[in-house]
Structures are given as C-alpha cells and as structure tokens.
Amino acid sequence: MPEEIPDLIAASRNVESAYMEWRQYQRSQKHLNEMRRKLYEETRLYRFYSSTTFPWPAQAPGYMRALMLRGAELHRSNPPDIEDAIRVRVDRQRLLDDGTRRAAILVEESALRAQPFPGEVMRDQLNHLLVAMRRPNISLGIVPIEGRRVQKPAENFHLYDEAQVFIELLTAAVTITQPREIALYVQLFNDLTADAVFGSKAQTLINAAIRALN
C-alpha cells in the first residue's frame, strides 16, 4: 500500500547496519565512539531515555571510562585506546555548545540509585548531572520509582530528531529508521516524559541518591 512505501525504503537502506554486535567493535573504543559522527552533527534535537545508565551528553569523563572498561571486561577484550575514546566523546558533547542543538534526557530513578561503579565515580557522575541540568539547552527528567506512571520502564533508546532511533541491548545495538517505528518511540518518549519530574524535584532525587552512596 502507498502509505507503507516510506517504511519499505527505510528498511532496505538500513538492512546492513540495523543490528550491530558490540563485540565486533571492542578492539577499538575510539572507532566505536567515532561512528555515527555525521548523524550527531546533523541532529538538532537529541532525545534519550535510560533505565540503567546515563546517556553521553550527561556523562562525566570518569563515568565514561568506567563504562568502557566494563564493556571491555564483559566482551573479554582489551582495547588500547580508551583514553582516545573518552576525548572523542567529550568532543561530541561540545556539539551542544553552539546553541543550535537541544538534548532532552529521561533517566529512571533506579539508575540514580544503582552503584555499578566505585562510590567516587558515581558521586562525580551524579554531581555532573546537577551541573548539566542547569544548561538552558539540556532538559533532564527523572522518572520516580514511586507513584503511578503511564509507561513501564523500557530499553535504553536514543532519538535523533525523527530520523533514527538507536536502541542499546546487552550484546548489540539496533538502529531503526522506519518512520512508523520511529513514531512509536516518539510517543513512548512523550509518555515517559509525562511520568518524569524536572527542576527542583529532579534535583531532590539526585541529591538523595548522592547521600545514599556508600
């Protein structure tokens, strides 16, 4: 049917890159972090939802390092360029400095409370969130553990404008470009936004998580 043509075109263009196993790229963290550079540069609205970790615009360098080392450990690799990869990711964060791009970030409160890394790494990261949310072009919402909600927790996903969705799985990353599927993730993000708290309420939850650190 005619209305299905955009989805079919997107699927045919995306067939080779739709599923990417992490282990294939663990030999070079720098290369992994340089992928999709053109997408990052062309995007004007980044939207992120995470139930487990913090997305790249809001990551402190120490947290980046801990994530990369954990991924290398999981996949039994030993990438020699983690420090180079951190510099690439920090440079990517600077895309938000020119004032033409915005980032909307949603994080589950359970991610604040989790302690997958040493206390000093998590404390630095949570304080980094407090700094990031003061920026006028970054919106940070926390989905509370308690209270009613429209949507249950979902898989981590990134929305780049309405051109692409990037989903993080344990073993691989899935890229979605079909307009119909992207629209569903936009609706999911909007529903999760309705469940989140912002501003001083979000700060209260982050500060409580900092106090709870061992």
Q: What is the DSSP letter of 14?
A: H
Q: Select the more confidently predicted residue: 86 or 17.
A: 86
Burial-class residue 136 by CB neighbours within 10 Å (0-12, 13-18, 19+). Answer: exposed
Tell me: the pLDDT tens digits for 26-85? 566 777 778 788 999 999 999 999 999 999 999 999 999 999 999 889 888 888 899 999
What mean pLDDT is predicted for residues 191-202?
97
Q: The pTM is what? A: 0.87
CA dist 212 and 123 (Å) reads 10
Q: What ranges make up the beta strands (E) of the chain? A: 19-21, 45-50, 102-108, 138-143, 157-160, 164-168, 172-176
Distance from first CA to last CA of the chain, Å, rounded?
58
The percent helix, strand, coil of the chain (3-state, each to 5) is: 50, 15, 30
CB 23 within 8 A of CB 169: no
More confident residue, 7 or 124: 124
Rounded distance, CA 107 to CA 53, Å?
8
d(CA 115, CA 121): 9
As a whole number, the mean pLDDT across the chain is: 88
